[in-house]
Amino acid sequence: MPVIRDIPISLKTKEVLRRVGFREQASLRPEIKSLIDELLAGAKNDFLLEPAIAYGIYPLTEMNRGRLPLEDNGVIHDPLLPSLLSGADEFAVVICTIGHRLEKQVTNYFKQDEPLRGVLLDGIGSAAVDLLAEEACKLMTERASSRGYQAGSPISPGMQGLPITEQRWLFKMAPAQKIGVGLTSSGVMSPLKSTSMIIGIGPQMKTWTRAEVCAQCGLRKTCPYRKGVKGEKQKRGKISKKSPIVHPC
Amino acid sequence: MAKDLVNTLADLKEKEALGIVQERLSAGEDPLRILDDARRGVEIVGKRFSDEEYFIPDLVYSGEILKQITDMVKPKLTKAAEVKRLGKVIVGTVAGDIHDIGKDIVVFMLDVNGFEVFDLGIDVPVQKFVDKIKETGSGVVGLSGFLTLAFQSMKDTVGAIEKAGLRNEVKIMIGGGQIDDQVRSFTGADAYGKDAMDAVKLAKGWIGG
Ligand code: B12
């Protein structure tokens, strides 16, 4: 089960802004913009981002009525899986993290009475996880296409239909401990800035954009972090062929 | 003059706001009046945040400015006029959940708005909330949680507070990305808040005079 490190993460201010709930109608204060730039540079110089991906690929032998049988006699339950993974011959289990360092620095900022820095750096961390998840999806797409296959868009525990508790199965199928990711008894990953996904691989796979996932989410009306708020509205509701990206948050 | 500080802070002009405070202090003005204006400025920031004109970092920025002003004003206060804390609030992320940033912002905004806050951290066992209420006599408890599984933990926490015979002594508010009135009703909390300013408003309404 492979592990990948040294993944280049280069973030733009815009991506960070989404993660700190920037609103379309708001104007960006120059002090905040320059603080984001400073923190982005600092994250790089101080090596606060330690991106790593762990994954495993398995044949999809049998799948019916929302059950995905796994090795070890485990079963993932999700009523939506058959439709989301339809056409898949294989599936990848992927876990990504940016490590603990950034989170620790966020905590330090709050302790040192610098919460603005804390909030912005936290946003940088979440945006970095997004980018890492996209990189992981691209990697799966490349691997798949080298064999004439396609990779579908990812499905993450915690999304509608796939409870967070199912996370425990994913942890048996990707070497999470090798990249320092642990699972609490309630199914939360530590470091917090981590994400997990299942990706279908087959001759023809469905893909969807983050804006489409947001459009399905119960929080879509109120979530300040939703995608598709600015410049992406036109994409909502359509299935996009080109983009493999997605994370549920 | 008084209006200036309110609006300058509301417009998040940090240097100018601090300059006005310095001038007013040098002119021998009542420090409590200055602080009162600063708090009114932050209230306007809260309103602009609710109207989606400002975003979270703006809100936190206003809190940082208010904190600096409080620090400038404090040494000028006579013992009798010391900045009075509005009341005690306990805040924590409930058992099973480890999301901290939303809770941290709530703690900070409650603190700069004049509350004495006891931050219990993340993944807080129900008994810890009960013990802290007994120890501090806080009148408000804020429960934070971002995951669906936190709903049950919130309910359990409210239940434990009730079982300890403390339910009538405290008001309980809950918050976190997915929280709405349905969740509030499930957990038995008194109110829910969408953001840190809601937490301040709720606490003020209950114990803030
Ligand atoms: C950013 C984010 C992430 C980030 C990291 C989170 C972090 N904070 O570090 C990343 C991308 C890494 C991530 C990962 C995951 N996430 Co996520 N994430 C979010 C998101 C978008 C925001 C959470 C957040 O921290 N916001 C920051 C704070 C500042 O936001 P805020 O809500 O505005 O905060 C205010 C209020 O909540 C309020 N408040 C907070 N507490 C309190 C308390 C009181 C008393 C009051 C009055 C108010 C109050 O005041 C705050 C300040 O104004 C939420 C969706 C959402 N809208 O909440 C999903 C969400 C929490 N994630 C979700 C999921 C599923 C996951 C993953 C499990 C997905 C996966 N399989 O990989 C992982 C789990 C990670 C792990 N470690 O286990 C789901 C959880 C659903 C569930 N079943 O429980 C959510 C709800 C998304 C969704 N649409 O379904 N996530």
- CATH number of the domain enclosing A111: 3.40.109.40
**Residue A211 sits in which domain range?**
207-249
Same domain membership, residue A48 and residue A158: yes
Asked whether residue A208 carries a pLDDT value surpassing 90, the answer given is: no
- Which residues have CB under 8 Å from B18's CB, separation 6+? B65, B68, B69, B72
Query: pLDDT tens-digit profile of A171-187?
Result: 988 999 999 999 998 89
- How do strand A189-190 and strand A182-183 relate by DSSP bridges? antiparallel
Query: pLDDT tens-digit profile of A87-143?
Result: 888 989 999 999 999 999 999 999 999 999 999 999 999 999 999 999 999 999 999
Tell me if residue B99 falls in helix, strand or coil: coil
Query: pLDDT tens-digit profile of B125-176?
Result: 999 999 999 999 999 999 999 999 999 999 999 999 999 999 999 999 999 9
Q: Is residue B109 part of a domain?
A: yes
Residue of B146, B151, B173, B184 best suited for mutating to test ligand 1, as the one with most atoms within 8 Å of CB: B146
Same domain membership, residue A199 and residue A97: yes
Tell me if residue B51 falls in helix, strand or coil: coil
> Considering B59, B78, B97, which residue would you say is the last residue of a domain?
B78
**Residue B41 sits in which domain range?**
2-78
> What is the rounded CA–CA span in Å between residue A37 and residue B73?
32
- Nearest one of A119, A132, A101, A106 to A32, comparing CA atoms: A119
pLDDT score, position B111: 94
Query: pLDDT tens-digit profile of B61-108?
Result: 999 999 999 999 988 887 656 667 889 999 999 999 999 999 999 999
Asked whether residue A231 carries a pLDDT value surpassing 70, the answer given is: no
Binning pLDDT at 50, 70 and 90, where does residue A236 land?
Answer: very low
Q: How many domains does chain B fold into?
A: 2
Q: Which of A10-14, A203-207, B22-26 has the lowest mean pLDDT?
A: A203-207
Task: Say if residues A93 and A154 touch (Cβ distance below 8 Å).
Answer: no
Chain B residue with the nearest C-alpha to that of A126? B101
> What is the rounded CA–CA span in Å between residue B144 and residue B175?
5
- Which residues have CB under 8 Å from B8's CB, separation 6+? B16, B17, B20, B41
Our CA angle for B196, B184, B138, nearest 5°, is 60
Pocket of ligand 1 (CB under 6 A): A 21, 126, 129, 156-158, 164, 188-189, 192-196, 217, 219, 223-225, 247-249; B 56, 99, 101-103, 105-106, 142-144, 146-148, 173-178, 193, 195-196, 198-199
Our CA angle for B45, B46, B49, nearest 5°, is 85
Same domain membership, residue A175 and residue A124: yes
Please state the rounded mean pLDDT for residues B5-22.
96
> Considering B78, B99, B134, which residue would you say is the last residue of a domain?
B78
CA B33 to centroid of ligand 1, rounded, Å: 39
> What is the rounded CA–CA span in Å between residue B165 and residue B159?
10
> What is the rounded CA–CA span in Å between residue B44 and residue B198?
13
| Strand locations in chain A (E) | 3-4, 52-59, 67-69, 75-77, 90-97, 150-151, 182-183, 189-190, 194-202
Alpha carbon nearest to ligand 1 atom 59, residue: A249
Q: Is residue B83 part of a domain?
A: no
Q: How many domains does chain A fold into?
A: 2
> What is the rounded CA–CA span in Å between residue B85 and residue B70?
12
> Considering B26, B49, B78, which residue would you say is the last residue of a domain?
B78
Give the burial class of B151: count Cβ atoms within 10 A of its Cβ; 0-12 exposed, 13-18 middle, 19 or more buried: buried
Q: What is the ipTM of this complex?
A: 0.94
Across chain A, mean pLDDT equals 84
Q: Is residue B102 part of a domain?
A: yes
Q: Is residue B141 part of a domain?
A: yes
Chain B residue with the nearest C-alpha to that of A29? B58
Task: Say if residues B94 and B124 touch (Cβ distance below 8 Å).
Answer: yes
Same domain membership, residue B106 and residue B51: no
* Neighbour count for residue A17 (Cβ, 10 Å): 22
- Nearest one of A74, A53, A58, A66 to A169, comparing CA atoms: A74
* Contact flag A218-B60 (C-beta cutoff 8 Å): no
Question: Which residue in the block uniquely carries the two structure tokens 């058959």?
Answer: A82
pLDDT score, position B81: 60
Extract the tokens encoding A231: 């410049």
Same domain membership, residue B199 and residue B181: yes
User: What value does the CA radius of gyration of chain A take, rounded to a whole number of Å?
Assistant: 18
> What is the rounded CA–CA span in Å between residue A122 and residue A125?
5
CA B104 to centroid of ligand 1, rounded, Å: 13
> Can you give the CATH number for the domain in which B46 is found?
1.10.1240.10
> What is the rounded CA–CA span in Å between residue A197 and residue A208?
14
